[in-house]
Structures are given as structure tokens and as C-alpha cells.
Amino acid sequence: MNYKITVTLLSGVALLAATGCSSMSSKPTKTVEQVMEEGFEGKESLNARVTKGQGTPAEIAHLAELVAQLALNKPPAGDLASWTEKTVALNKAAADLVAGKPGAMDAYKAAVNCKACHSVHKPEKQ
């Protein structure tokens, strides 16, 4: 398979995942904690690589899949309306990033505001 076809296929799969159409079920296969560990924790995380412009098409697609999983979960703390608003925006931005839309990286960086989400949805440690 040539590179262009592979990228196109990966983009399509990630776009479906990011828009919530990849599964007939709306139950998550990964917890919020698993998504955070796999995609967002650390200075060398998948999210960090992508936002620095260093992510491969496959990594961007994987990040979009993780974001889709995040949205399928219930908020660990805070209200559902806020969680839905934030995860829908993040999903759209990730899907646009996969699709290579102009301005997608700026929109993704704005939507992936960790502090804005953690301040209302991350449970306090006990």
C-alpha cells in the first residue's frame, strides 16, 4: 500500500472515531484515566508530540481515537453539560486535525486546554 492511501485510510478511521461513529455502542473501551495515561501524560506524550507538529499521521489518528474515547466516558467530577461541551469541541478539533483542515492545529490547541477541563472535572485526590 502506498503512503498516500495509508494516510487516507488512517484519516478516515480516525475521523469516524473522533465523531463517535466507529462503534455501534456508545460505551467506552478506555477509561478517562487510561486515555490520560496513553495520550496526555508527560512532556513527551502523544498529545505533546502532535501539538508540537511532530506527530505522524498514525499518531494523530490514534490521538483522535483517544479523544473519542474520552467523550464516551462520564465526567469523573463536575457536571455532564460542561464535560459534553469540552469533549465535543475536542472531538471536532481532533477530527479536523486528522482531516488536515486549515487552522485545525490552532483549534486543537485551544480545545485541548488541560487546566480548563481539570479544574472542573478532575476529582480531588484523597
Rounded to two decimals, the pTM is 0.77
For 1, the 3-state DSSP assignment is: coil
Distances in whole angstroms, Cα of residue 59 to Cα of each of 14, 95, 126:
10, 13, 34
Q: Is residue 126 part of a domain?
A: no
Output the nine-digit C-alpha cell for 26: 456508545
Determine, yes or no, domain membership for 114. yes
Judged on CB neighbours under 10 Å (0-12, 13-18, 19+), 88 is: middle
> In Å, how far from its chain's centre is CA 30?
12
User: Domain tally for the chain?
Assistant: 1
Please tell me which residue, 33 or 3, carries the higher pLDDT value.
Answer: 33
Structural domain contains residue 60: yes
> Stretch 81-97: mean pLDDT, rounded?
96
**Domain of 33, in residue numbers:** 3-121
pLDDT of 36 over the 60 cut: yes
